[in-house]
Amino acid sequence: MDRSASFSTAMLALAACQSAPPAAPARAPQMDSNRLAIALKEILRDDVIDHPEDRELKGAPPKADVASTLTLSFTAPPPSERALSADPAWSALQSAVERIAEQARTYEALARRAAEAAESGGEALRLLQDDVRAARDEQQELFTGLLQSGLLSPEEFGEAIVRIGSEDLDPQRVFEQAFRAKVAALESHAAALERNDRIVTVRAVLKPRGGTPQLLQVPDYYEKSDDELADDRRRARTAEFDALALEFAASRKLAAAIEELRAKHGSVMEALRESWVRVCADVRAWSKDLEQRARELRERLEGALAQRPESARELSETERAVWADLTALAADFEALRELLREIEALRDEPSFAALERLARETRELVRRVCEDGEESWSARIARLRANVPRMLEQQLAEPLRASVVALRETLERDLEALRGELREQLPSTSQALEALAGLGAFGRDVDIVDDGVLVPQPIDSLPEARLDLRDNPVGDGDTLRLEVKVWDRATFESQDERRTPLESYSYTSELIRTGWRWSGDVIFTRALDGANDDHFTANAAVSREYHWFSRKRPDTWFNRLDPGIGFHAAQLNMDPDTTTEIGVGLNASLWSGLVRAGIGYDISIDADQEYWYFGFGLIGALERLDELRSSTFGDGD
């Protein structure tokens, strides 16, 4: 696998991805009479007065307006053919309707043959009479069967016959109507039984441009018990700026990485790999001795732990505290050794997934080794210092006493020394791992924040699912997925994690709006004059642009280009003597900010202040990078 694809190659691929048509919904609803029928509608601004751009949609809108309300209305399916065909009455009545129509045709044919046969006599007449007998036998068999099975009572038969005769009605129509009414009644009954066992769930999954996916409140379907819609509105106001702050911070990280890359004329991935190699080398330098000590300490602790009485009732409170602290420390030693082993094992084949896990594990270890708190090493060592001598004052049998004495010496010497060295080394390793993993953190599939209650609804009385995006913490570029699932009630209530729905529908839309949008960008700036006019420098910027989107003709080339015009503030580095430089200026973009260019003015320096730049919105670009990652740096698992 080629793990060193150049950055320019990646950017070309990004542009190709951006121009691709939007993906179709994961599963569009089918016009199948046995499936739940779903009508999706997007309503603009007001849900009372129709807006000219309100629209009913056949599938998910590729782009949905953040100021709209999405509604899902449902029509329950009729009972399945399979369920009904298992009912002999339903089959018999369906068959009766068909046979009556067939017999009517036979009746007409025999009547036409009668005149000719009477004249011809002989064989023709005999054949006619045979056919008449056969037709009557079949008719008699049909009605006798219906009467005997109770599908047609003698009274119903008599009333129908009298109506046919007295009102001069078409018998085929009379009996068809009667049987169809019975069929409909059976279907209705079967449907009632079947619907009683079918429930429907609806979820709205919001994947923000930056941050953790979350479930939005969908009245009647997904409720947050201690959460009002007003809370969602408040979150909506802050979500946009939270996302921007995240994007800008990430832009700064990436710009710094790119600058390092530029200095080395290498690729981003090469720079990342080199950083990783440095982390591995640092860890290797200090880990050999520490690993040895951690192993020895663990063995000693386990030696003492092996002497612990099995029954906790025999232990004093002091003893219980000692054993608990020793057990926790032994586990941490093992975690440390495991961490060092993992870093060593991954040295040649790093992956973002593994880096994220390592960063998380190291962060936890740092918290316990370096920080304060009940579970910290400092607290445990202090408790052991106090409790071990007290324990030795008690009557302890050999070899337990010998183990505890050895432990006391270990505490004084080795454990404290190990802690001191770890406090020096672990935080910097943790930060390095965090930085490496952080660059790959966007666009990852992470657990959805599920802080509400899924409310299943019976399929025969489904309320409309209504999601007013104005009341939710949504923003431009977020992705919204509406999920509708039909469940067998028993399956749903089983809470089995492997349970699967009977039917599943998904509508995914990118959220957009005509209006102002924030963006955190990585930009490549170049001065118009002076010493910096011959090269580009990677920097981070925040831009605000006005974008237009035509809802009437969503597939136009203009919408695909998604142009924007606005202004920006950039963090620059045009003068090495100035520590903090801010540039402001105008900019324009295409493809939702994937490609952006601008001109500006460095307000922090005194000469050669004008610059121009090109760049890209970070989150959109990273989402595309994420798609390409498996062919560049590897995706771990």
Partner 1 sequence: MAESLPPLTLAALLQALANPSFTAYAYIGGEKDRGWSIAKAAEKMIPNVRVYRIAPSEASAARSEFGASPSIVGIVFGFGLDVTDKLNAKAAEDALRVFNAIWDSDN
Nearest-approach distance from CB 88 to partner 1, in angstroms: 22
Of 139, 133, 130, 129, nearest in space to 105 by CA: 139
* Residue closer to partner 1 (CB basis): 130 or 289: 130
Question: Are 396 and 377 spatial neighbours (Cβ–Cβ below 8 Å)?
Answer: no
Nearest-approach distance from CB 97 to partner 1, in angstroms: 15
Question: Are 559 and 514 spatial neighbours (Cβ–Cβ below 8 Å)?
Answer: no
* Residue closer to partner 1 (CB basis): 131 or 274: 131
Nearest-approach distance from CB 128 to partner 1, in angstroms: 6
Question: Are 215 and 222 spatial neighbours (Cβ–Cβ below 8 Å)?
Answer: yes
515 to 13, 66, 560: CA distances (angstroms): 28, 10, 16
Nearest-approach distance from CB 184 to partner 1, in angstroms: 23
Of 590, 516, 514, 508, nearest in space to 550 by CA: 514
Specify the pairing of strand 214-216 against strand 198-207.
antiparallel
Q: What is the DSSP letter of 534?
A: T
* Residue closer to partner 1 (CB basis): 121 or 150: 121
Other CB atoms within 10 A of residue 331 CB = 13
Of 523, 307, 312, nearest in space to 401 by CA: 307
Residues of this chain that bind partner 1 (CB under 8 A): 103, 106-107, 110-111, 113-115, 117-118, 121, 125, 128-129, 132-133, 135-137, 139-140, 143, 147, 154, 157-158, 161-162, 164-166, 168, 170-171
For residue 129, give both structure tokens: 């009479």
Query: What DSSP line would sit under 161-204, residue for residue?
Result: HHHHHHHT--HHHHHHHHHHHHHHHHHHHHHHHHHTTEEEEEEE
Q: Is the peptide bond before 399 cis (omega within 30 degrees of 0)?
A: yes
Question: Are 186 and 83 spatial neighbours (Cβ–Cβ below 8 Å)?
Answer: no
Of 553, 558, 550, 562, nearest in space to 591 by CA: 562
Region of 443 on the Ramachandran plot (φ > 0 left; ψ -120 to 50 alpha; else beta): left
In angstroms, the CA 127 to CA 430 distance is 100
For residue 356, give both structure tokens: 């994220």
Residue positions counted in the chain: 637
Question: Cα 550 to chain center, whole Å?
Answer: 28
Question: Are 378 and 348 spatial neighbours (Cβ–Cβ below 8 Å)?
Answer: no
Specify the pairing of strand 503-512 against strand 63-65.
parallel
